[in-house]
Amino acid sequence: MPHPAVQIIVWISLAFLAQRLLPIPLALFCVVLLALALKLCAQQLLKLLKRTRWIMFSLLLIYAYSTPGAALVGAWGVYAPTLEGLTDGALQLMRLLAMLSSLAILLSLLNRAQFIGGIYTLAYPLRWIGIERERAAVRLALTLQYAEPAMGETAADWRGAIRHALKMPSVKDGHIGLHRPHWRAIDGLGLIFGAAMLWLGVR
């Protein structure tokens, strides 16, 4: 497996690329990533889609009713969504689906320690401005440790989740392991691929 930092870079590069693709290549890109995610990590993908379903629905409504254009149903008058708005909203949904699909694949390939180790590696430039990346990695680890159960509880009992979030957190003794694998030749290929995708996305 490539270095966790390389996998994160590839995911970021794919996210940039999705923002620049034209509709037909974007649709193919989205279908390929969605199919891969369903095959490799369907449960993880469905969990992400469930947590973002209202965001996606709201995104489509905002574009449908705020983008000027021809009314989809003329008889509805000012209450009709526009064809251009629905088109733009669908494009944004495809970009979001592509990002969520690739994120599901990334999270299935990396456990929490590997993910934090990858962020720790990518945070190396922070040392140049006096920020300790070790402390940033610990804060991220603690955030992930408490955020994931809280998100699951919120879906079932949002009132109880809010009350729990307002309480002072209890600090337990323990340690946080940092996964720092060595770089290999395959990681160089991954960096080249990620750089190519990033160049295509920002050019």
Q: What is the rounded end-to-end Cα distance, in angstroms, of the chain?
A: 29
pLDDT confidence of residue 28: 96
CA distance 96 to 56: 8
Task: Please say if the pLDDT value at position 172 is more than 60.
Answer: no
Across 49-59, b (16+ Cβ under 10 Å) vs e yields beeeeeebeeb
Percentage of residues in the chain having pLDDT higher than 90:
33
Task: Inform me whether the pLDDT recorded for 168 exceeds 50.
Answer: no
How is the chain split into domains, by residue range?
4-202
- C-alpha span between 43 and 188 (Å, rounded): 31
What are the tokens at 16? 């940039």
Give the Cα separation of 109 and 150 in Å (integer): 23
The answer to whether 2 and 187 are in contact (CB under 8 A) is yes
Query: What are the respective helix, strand and coil percentages of the chain, to the nearest 5?
Result: 80, 0, 20
CA distances from 112 to 86, 137, 145, 178 (A): 37, 11, 9, 10
Confidence class of residue 133 from pLDDT cuts 50, 70 and 90?
confident
**pLDDT at residue 171 is higher than 80:** no
Q: Which H or E element spans position 185?
A: helix 185-202
Give the rounded distance of the alpha carbon of 77 from its chain centre: 37
